[in-house]
């Protein structure tokens, strides 16, 4: 019983010490909410993300993901040509189902199937990637309206990678 009370006391003290909370407005500004009921804007950069560039690998857990090309196909599809390297000592799969693009309004787009893609992009990820530097390359398609401004790429079940993709996706 004493251990439970001590644990409860520690949790209570921790909660009180975290009374100043941060919130983010719809405009993206950070607000500090103080424990006395007041608030003020803070000049804080929340979780800076790596910037995705062509031919620059980014780490996602045991995988390195390199964007080789990003292009728009027709009016509805955006394609990412990716090179994935396995840096683990065990075979790993690149799971396309957990690769997402996000737009400026916060909408998320998942990979989709494209019937009859251009021959240049007619390859997909299949099976595991060999360990210790094995590579796989493939195309991932997203159905995204033309006017959409893509700003973020994310990968993984547990958010292994979040990257700013706005520079290479500009003008798509």
Domains of the chain: 2-42 (no CATH), 58-169 (2.60.40.1240)
**pLDDT category of residue 40 using cuts at 50, 70 and 90:** confident
Q: What does the pLDDT read at residue 23?
A: 63
The answer to whether 114 touches 141, Cβ cutoff 8 Å, is yes
pLDDT at 151 over 60: yes
In this predicted model, what pLDDT tens digit does every residue of 104-148 receive, in sequence order? 999 999 999 888 889 999 898 888 999 999 999 999 999 999 999
51-55, 73-77, 123-127, 158-162, range with the lowest pLDDT: 158-162
Neighbours of 109 (CB within 10 A): 17
Residue 84, CA atoms < 13 Å, CB-side half-sphere: 30
CA distance 89 to 109: 32
Per-chain mean pLDDT for the chain: 84
């Amino acid at each position: 019983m004493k251990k439970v009370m001590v644990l409860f006391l520690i949790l209570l003290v921790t909660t009180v010490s975290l009374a100043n909370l941060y919130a983010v407005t719809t405009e993206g500004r950070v607000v500090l909410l103080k424990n006395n009921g007041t608030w003020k804007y803070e000049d804080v950069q929340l979780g800076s993300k790596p910037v995705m560039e062509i031919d620059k690998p980014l780490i996602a857990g045991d995988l390195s993901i390199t964007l080789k090309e990003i292009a728009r196909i027709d009016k509805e599809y955006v394609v990412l040509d990716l090179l994935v390297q396995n840096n683990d000592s065990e075979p790993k799969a690149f799971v396309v189902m957990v690769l997402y693009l996000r737009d400026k309004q916060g909408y998320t787009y998942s990979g989709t199937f494209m019937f009859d893609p251009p021959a240049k992009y007619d390859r997909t990820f299949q099976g595991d990637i060999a360990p210790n530097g094995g590579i796989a390359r493939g195309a991932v398609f997203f159905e995204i309206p033309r006017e959409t401004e893509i700003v973020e790429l994310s990968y993984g079940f547990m958010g292994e990678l979040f990257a700013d993709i706005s520079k290479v996706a500009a003008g798509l």
